[in-house]
Structure 1
Amino acid sequence: MKGTPGAAVGKETGALRRVAREGRPFLRARRRVLLRLTGWSLVESAQTFVGGLAVARALDDGFLSDAPATGLLWLALAAVALIPALFATRGVFRELAELVEPLRDGLVRRAVARSLHTGSAAPAATARAVSQVTHQSEIARDGWAGLVLAARGFAFTAVGALAGLATLSPLLLAVVLPPLLLGAGLFLATLIPMGARQRVCLDLDEEYTAHAGQAAGALRDIAAAGAYGPMTERAATLTARQTRAARSLARWSAARLVALATAERLPPLLLPAAAPWLMRSGVTTGALVGAFTYLTVSLAPALNALLTAVGTVGGRLVVVLDRFTDGTTTADAATTADAATTGPAAKAPAERGTLPTGTTPRPRLPNAPRAELRAVSFAYGPHARPVLDRLDLVLRPGDRLAVVGPSGSGKSTLASVLAGVVAPTRGEVRWLGRPTADSDPTAVRTLLPQQPYVHTGTLRENLRYLRPDATAAEVAAAVTAVGLDALVARLGGLDAPLCPQHLSRGECQLVALARAHVATAPLLILDEATSHLDPAAEARAENALAARAETLVVIAHRLSSAGRARRVLVMDGTRTDLGTPAELLHRSALFRELSGHWGGIPERVADGRASHPDGTEARVGGT
């Protein structure tokens, strides 16, 4: 079960193997950086070796032998050895940047490329992508830097210190090495359990982020459905699970202190205790003080830094890096992600669903329904009141449906369910006669939200964002169709630089509408995508897209959209009514009320003279 330590232990073992396997090519590609880092580290280790040895010789050959000048010369040598070490530290950090920054950049590009390639807008997938690009990539960057510094520091400090101890007396190693090895062994025994707990914490963090994102994006529908209780209960449950996981992680951290104390604190205590035996065996006073210097000044701090980094940062690093492994290696993350973010995969639709380059739509029958809702219900929790209740709807080629209703009535929820962004609680959504799970959403539907995406670049690049192979004629036709000519003239042409911050909200919506005109899937859903346009511009854009798309669904911002539609779905919570505008004016009190509040609908619709299908292919349930 996800989110439990038992399941996470097995994952942690496999993650260690996967990360190690994928990390080898990354390091091989940076052999020169590693060699330069090794060279600077050897300079540092020389200072460690000289430091303890100089203290020992200053005592034995100098101060304890009535030769203070000799003692001072040895101490001066230890001080001089610090100078190249300072330059070496500067070189270490310069080479460290060459190891750390490419890893973070590659991981960010990989997460972005994966998100664009899949085009998934499910809350969990969106939360995962956001967490990886922001929080998790920074964890990987900082963790990798800390681990490299700690591992390098301990390795070369240990080389210098152990070489110095062996030079002073091999017997010193017999006292120092056993507790060091014992503490390291105890520490290694905690790695897998600690990593498992850290994996649980990250799983729960992503789960809570997904829940919070879903709640934030559905506040209006939660209020309409009275789902405060279930949403709060779910948040409390996730918080409690996070608390338990954090406490379990803290207990293992406390157990790790025993290993740290054994490796770091025990050798300096054993050395004075073994001093009589060592001195009887020929170890000098200076050698003992030099050994103590190696332990306290060099070896113990380096060991503490290593064990702390591996135990905390290292465990989180393995968990995070494993989340980025989806068939491509860490070593080629940069090149793979670069190719993905500049190739066709990068052109996956920001508006959730138009046809990317190279995607061939499935063959479909001319009269097959473009979308169907079969007894669809949706609620934001098992005990929440449903927002949709047993709704049946069929949308055929040429259909133009407007969805109207008061704020909070579930219109945007219906758009999300129809577009496959959220799954219904009950019932089934079908596209082109197939279940949504068996269909490619990018080839079937486009959902334009109220807040459009416009990126820095040229206007032409924005319009061809969803279809890079669109011809100049297609782009020009879209500009004319939706009324973008004025913006093109103001900017100085399609290839003039465009800054989103310099556009009004209405102009941003026009750009998104023209983009949808360039590359329109069979089913086009506008979720108040014209809310910042004036009525004339809105009518022009809707008519242009209705002529372009096979089926158009408009979450209406103004009732005039209902007047242009062939059918209208009136939503008032779970109470719904479907019919032509003329029919609804006669039988729906809510539709007549909305017509009065929103400024009415055209007279030709009110008197029933508008052309429309008879609507017999659809039925609305849950009334």
Structure 2
Amino acid sequence: MSGSPGWGLLFRQLAVTRAPLLRLLAWSGVEALPPLLSGLLVSAAVDQGFLVGRPGVGVTWLAGFGAAMAFRAYAARAGFPHLAGVVEPLRDALVERVVHSALARPSADPAEVARLTEQVESARQLTATLLRTLRGVGVTLAAALVGLALLSPAVLPLVLLPLLAAGLLFARLLRPLVARRRAVVLAEERLAAEADRALHGLRDVQATGTQERVTEALTDAARASAAASRALGRASALRALVVALGGRLPVLAVLAAAPWLLSRDALTPGELLGVATYLLQQLDPAVRTLAGTVGGWLLGLAVVLDRLAGTTSDAPVATTVGGVRPSAAGAGAQTHAPLPSAESTAGPPATPAAAAGAPPAPPGGAVAGRAPEVRISGLRYGHGGAGAAVLEGLEAGFGAGEHVAVVGVSGAGKSTLAGLLAGVLAPTDGAVTVGGVRPAGLAGAERARLVALVPQEAYVFPGPLRDNLSWLAPGATDDQLADAVATLGAGQLVARLGGPDAVLRDPGVLSGGERQLLALVRTYLSPAPVVVLDEATCHLDAGAEERVERAFAARPGTLVVVAHRISSALRADRVLLLDGGRGLLARHGDLQVLSPLYRELAGHWLGSTAGHAS
């Protein structure tokens, strides 16, 4: 365990704070004097005082013992400033590592940085607690053994042999305990990552009809976390054997041998009480503390230090992924270096086509027949079915194969309309139909084959990259996959990740724009004749956004885009302006004449674009 990178990190920092560490050890030596004298003073009080009829002498010896304990308390207090001199620089050094790593990865996940900061504080607290406890326990244990040797060498073998066996057993248990504690941490992190991905990509999961598969993945992660905790608990239970060997067995051995030692004058009654003082007041509590609380803290510190050593660096470094320095993916999105994570054992979510047992339709929008017409009739939607309606009496119709942009102020109901079109939300009143069918009334897999929704936060799961890309089109050929990747400008990203056959172990390494690109390729390949992009390109730059929208507009089928920039409205055949729960559908030029609100929105967008350009 001492050869792990985490302990190397700790020992290097302790070497820097050598002076306060030595002063702390010096005060620890002073603390050792009272435990060392305890058995000797008790023995003297009994043999030279109470047993010979001199109670005053016995009380005096015991008073000396009380004074020694008070002196120990003073020494413990005096060591605290030097403890701070060791621990606080350690915390500062670890914070510096986290900051350097974050600066080296500009697109680092803020949640990951926050977790690292929490681990730094855990390392500081555990180190302080261990040093404070170990110096007390260590000096107590050493003082008890020295006191036993001075008081009664005859009983020393009865104590040393079981204590040595306990120490060997404890050392043997440390490595598997650290491994199981690390497994618990990794399993918990995997569970948190799976839950975070599912939560942020919830609309994507709903739109693709794979709730059951994602639920299974979360359940598997939860079970793995529980299994790791149980395994750690079983291994930790063996520490009770360490306490029995090192703390309790020496007491039993001395009690068993006491009559024989007393009968041969190898031990006086006072010395027997002194030995009992060392064993019961010093040795046994020290062993229990070492095997119990200190053992648990030691395991926790080992895991935290290893995580910090493995996920941070001493200085800014060039970020690499798979040995290749990442550049901006075709979308202009940023990325950051991968963080270690437990490899997901869950396979990719089942595809809607496979779930329904139907043969997959040709990918890339090659759907038989004409694209269906989309009708919105008397549409009303209120969150929770009560309260103020977000959409009220909305009427609109999108022609087969039409490209429509949806615009409006914040809160106008654009994303709500996207969810209603995709069927992941059900209208409070009125209807949304696609080719005469209500998407909200279809099962998830069947609905996903009719309307494909790409929300702002896309869901990407651990596993082969090919499975992520062909999730909605399992029958896609290599040529179709390559064509979709190239058409949407994702070639550089896919190549950097290792190609379609590479395994994406931790989707957390991807930026928001990169996740959107993968989800867009996935949707481009799907058989759905209607595609709804709900600000699905908001993390891409303007050039990448234009490329994506033009690709989907050329794809067979109907395209509805919740506009993120004015350019999206300019590229559309018609624009649906949402205002006050209702809508106005017209061409861009006509809307500028018909609607002051649209003129204001367009002017705001154009002004923002000009400001960025300057």
TM-score normalised by length of structure 2: 0.60
3-state SS of the aligned residue for 1:81?
A: helix
1:382 alignment counterpart: 349
Q: 1:64 to 1:403 in 2, by over 3 A?
A: farther
3-state SS of the aligned residue for 1:577?
A: strand
- C-alpha separation in 2, matches of 1:582 and 1:232: 40
- C-alpha separation in 1, matches of 2:140 and 2:493: 60
**Does 1:407 pair with 2:418?**
yes
3-state SS of the aligned residue for 2:44?
A: helix
3-state SS of the aligned residue for 1:40?
A: helix
The amino acid that maps onto 1:383 is A
Q: 1:292 to 1:28 in 2, by over 3 A?
A: same
Structure 1 residue 217: deviation in Å?
1.0
Summarize the alignment of residues 340-379 of structure 1 with structure 2, pairs less than 5 Å apart: 340=316
Structure 1 residue 20: deviation in Å?
3.3
Corresponding residue to 1:113 among 100, 105, 117? 100
Q: 1:407 to 1:251 in 2, by over 3 A?
A: same
Structure 1 residue 97: deviation in Å?
2.7
Structure 1 residue 31: deviation in Å?
0.8
- C-alpha separation in 1, matches of 2:240 and 2:120: 28
- C-alpha separation in 2, matches of 1:127 and 1:526: 23
3-state SS of the aligned residue for 1:222?
A: helix
- CA offsets, 1:405-429, max 9 Å, x none? 74345765477599xxx96433464
3-state SS of the aligned residue for 1:274?
A: helix
Summarize the alignment of residues 158-557 of structure 1 with structure 2, pairs less than 5 Å apart: 158-279=141-262, 280-326=264-310, 336=315, 340=316, 381-385=348-352, 390=363, 406-408=417-419, 413=455, 424-426=468-470, 427=481, 429=485, 434-438=491-495, 550-552=543-545
- C-alpha separation in 2, matches of 1:243 and 1:56: 52
- CA offsets, 1:283-314, max 9 Å, x none? 21111111110111112212211222443221
- CA offsets, 1:353-379, max 9 Å, x none? xxxxxx9979x9xxx9989xxxxxxxx
- C-alpha separation in 2, matches of 1:64 and 1:97: 47
- C-alpha separation in 2, matches of 1:584 and 1:221: 24
Summarize the alignment of residues 6-17 of structure 1 with structure 2, pairs less than 5 Å apart: 16-17=3-4
**Does 1:137 pair with 2:124?**
no
The amino acid that maps onto 2:174 is L
Q: 1:50 to 1:224 in 2, by over 3 A?
A: same
8 Å CA contact 1:208, 1:238 repeated in 2: yes
8 Å CA contact 1:526, 1:554 repeated in 2: no
The amino acid that maps onto 2:187 is L
Number of aligned residue pairs: give it. Answer: 441
Q: Percent identity?
A: 31
- C-alpha separation in 1, matches of 2:126 and 2:159: 30
Structure 1 residue 169: deviation in Å?
1.8
Structure 1 residue 239: deviation in Å?
1.3
3-state SS of the aligned residue for 2:32?
A: helix
- C-alpha separation in 2, matches of 1:21 and 1:117: 22
1:516 alignment counterpart: none
- C-alpha separation in 1, matches of 2:326 and 2:311: 25
Q: 1:369 to 1:246 in 2, by over 3 A?
A: closer
Structure 1 residue 262: deviation in Å?
0.9
- C-alpha separation in 2, matches of 1:435 and 1:389: 25
- C-alpha separation in 2, matches of 1:310 and 1:84: 25
Q: 1:296 to 1:601 in 2, by over 3 A?
A: farther
- C-alpha separation in 2, matches of 1:262 and 1:306: 13
Structure 1 residue 75: deviation in Å?
0.8
Q: 1:526 to 1:603 in 2, by over 3 A?
A: closer
Q: 1:446 to 1:250 in 2, by over 3 A?
A: closer
Structure 1 residue 28: deviation in Å?
0.9
1:84 alignment counterpart: 71
- C-alpha separation in 1, matches of 2:3 and 2:294: 13
- C-alpha separation in 1, matches of 2:63 and 2:557: 90
Q: 1:112 to 1:383 in 2, by over 3 A?
A: farther
- CA offsets, 1:44-82, max 9 Å, x none? 111111222111110111111222121111111111112
3-state SS of the aligned residue for 2:349?
A: coil
Structure 1 residue 177: deviation in Å?
1.0
1:481 alignment counterpart: none
3-state SS of the aligned residue for 2:40?
A: helix
1:612 alignment counterpart: none
- CA offsets, 1:537-581, max 9 Å, x none? xxxxxxxx99xx6555599xxxxxxxxx9898599xx96538996
2:60 alignment counterpart: 73
8 Å CA contact 2:331, 2:490 repeated in 1: yes
Corresponding residue to 1:604 among 586, 589, 592? 589
- C-alpha separation in 2, matches of 1:389 and 1:191: 56
- C-alpha separation in 1, matches of 2:454 and 2:92: 36
- In the alignment, structure 2 segments of 5+ residues that lack a partner are 320-324, 334-346, 354-360, 366-402, 407-414, 423-451, 471-480, 498-509, 516-533, 562-567, 593-614
RMSD of aligned residue pairs (Cα, Å)? 4.8
TM-score normalised by length of structure 1: 0.60
1:376 alignment counterpart: none
8 Å CA contact 2:32, 2:140 repeated in 1: yes
Q: 1:391 to 1:582 in 2, by over 3 A?
A: same
3-state SS of the aligned residue for 1:282?
A: coil
- C-alpha separation in 2, matches of 1:415 and 1:553: 19
Structure 1 residue 22: deviation in Å?
2.9
- C-alpha separation in 1, matches of 2:550 and 2:220: 46
Corresponding residue to 1:56 among 33, 37, 43? 43
3-state SS of the aligned residue for 1:199?
A: helix
